[in-house]
């Protein structure tokens, strides 16, 4: 397929030009929503993205600190839950289960960015047992419940980064990311200013999430 005139292409992916998006938005606002025989303008909803707007980017330039700082020789996902001298509030561990635990990400993509980590030190998805995989899925569902209740998350990105090429920061110990999202959370600050506005300290977020995790865990 020949590239469209006026479009940007990277590796065969077409990215919409700004004027294309403005035209899409104008077309959208002209759509009629007929109720009771009368038409009215329908304003775009928060987080609305026109069809063909191209990939959405959740910028996190502050995470570069993780990659540039010296890394410990030992696996942090193994040592942190095993160290009884570190309080869980300091380690940011929110909940423990038979095969996994929930920990806050110190370099979050968004406020409330959690990780579900197996105790077993495995790098490959296919090396996890059925019991571990099942628990990881169930615990990720619990994370969604807690984040919806505590910080009113409107959506989630949930998944694995497997391998350095896929963006994994710790490649030898598999972990599942649960990233809460809100309409409009990709704004001009990270795009233009290399700055991410996180409205709450990690410790404060921990204090909000921990009692809800305790309550919901006891209810299970």
Q: How far is CA 133 from CA 10, 98, 103, 209, in A?
A: 35, 12, 17, 23
Cβ–Cβ < 8 Å for 112, 213: no
C-alpha span between 193 and 178 (Å, rounded): 25
How far is it, in rounded angstroms, from Cα 101 to Cα 77? 10
Q: Give the pLDDT of residue 1.
A: 43
pLDDT in tens, 86-138: 999 999 999 999 999 999 998 888 889 999 999 999 999 999 999 999 999 99
Helix-, strand-, coil-residue percentages of the chain, each rounded to 5: 40, 15, 45
Catalytic residue among 99, 113, 175, 177: 175
Q: Does the global pTM surpass 0.75?
A: no
CATH 3.30.428.10 location in the chain = 61-219
- Bridge partners (DSSP) of residue 181 are 155
Is the backbone of residue 44 left (phi > 0), alpha (psi -120 to 50) or beta? beta
Rg (CA), the chain: 21
Residue 9 annotated to the active site: no
Q: How many CA atoms lie within 13 A of 88 on its CB side?
A: 14
Contact indicator for 132, 140 with CB cutoff of 8 Å: no
- Give the integer Cα–Cα distance in Å for 207 and 87: 13
Structure tokens of 98? 């038979």
CA distance 135 to 140: 8
Q: What's the rounded Cα separation, in Å, for the pair 169 and 173?
A: 10
Q: What is the pLDDT of residues 2-33, one digit of tens each?
A: 433 333 333 333 334 444 444 444 544 444 44
pLDDT tens digits, one per residue of 144-180? 999 999 999 999 999 999 988 888 888 999 999 999 9
Distance CA 77, CA 155 (A): 26
> Does 3.40.50.300 match the CATH number of domain 61-219?
no
What is the rounded average pLDDT of the residues 200-214? 91
């Amino acid at each position: 397929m020949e590239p469209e005139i006026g479009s940007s292409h990277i590796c065969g992916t077409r990215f919409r030009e700004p004027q294309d998006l403005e035209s899409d938005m104008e077309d959208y606002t002209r759509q009629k929503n007929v109720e009771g025989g009368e038409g009215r303008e329908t304003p775009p909803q928060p987080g609305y993205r026109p069809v063909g707007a191209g990939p959405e980017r959740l910028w996190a330039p502050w995470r570069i600190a993780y990659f540039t700082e010296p890394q410990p020789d030992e696996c942090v996902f193994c040592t942190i839950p095993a160290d009884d001298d570190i309080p869980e509030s300091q380690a940011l561990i929110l909940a423990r289960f038979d095969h996994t635990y929930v920990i806050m990400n110190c370099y979050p993509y968004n406020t409330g960015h959690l990780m579900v980590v197996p105790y077993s030190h495995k790098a490959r998805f296919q090396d996890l047992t059925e019991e571990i995989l099942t628990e990881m899925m169930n615990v990720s569902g619990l994370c969604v419940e807690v984040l919806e209740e505590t910080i009113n998350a409107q959506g989630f990105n949930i998944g694995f980064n497997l391998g350095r090429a896929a963006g994994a920061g710790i490649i030898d110990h598999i972990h599942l990311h649960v990233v809460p999202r809100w309409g409009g959370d990709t704004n001009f600050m990270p795009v233009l200013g290399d700055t991410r506005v996180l409205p709450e300290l990690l410790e404060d977020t921990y204090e909000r999430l921990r009692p809800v995790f305790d309550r919901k865990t006891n209810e299970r």
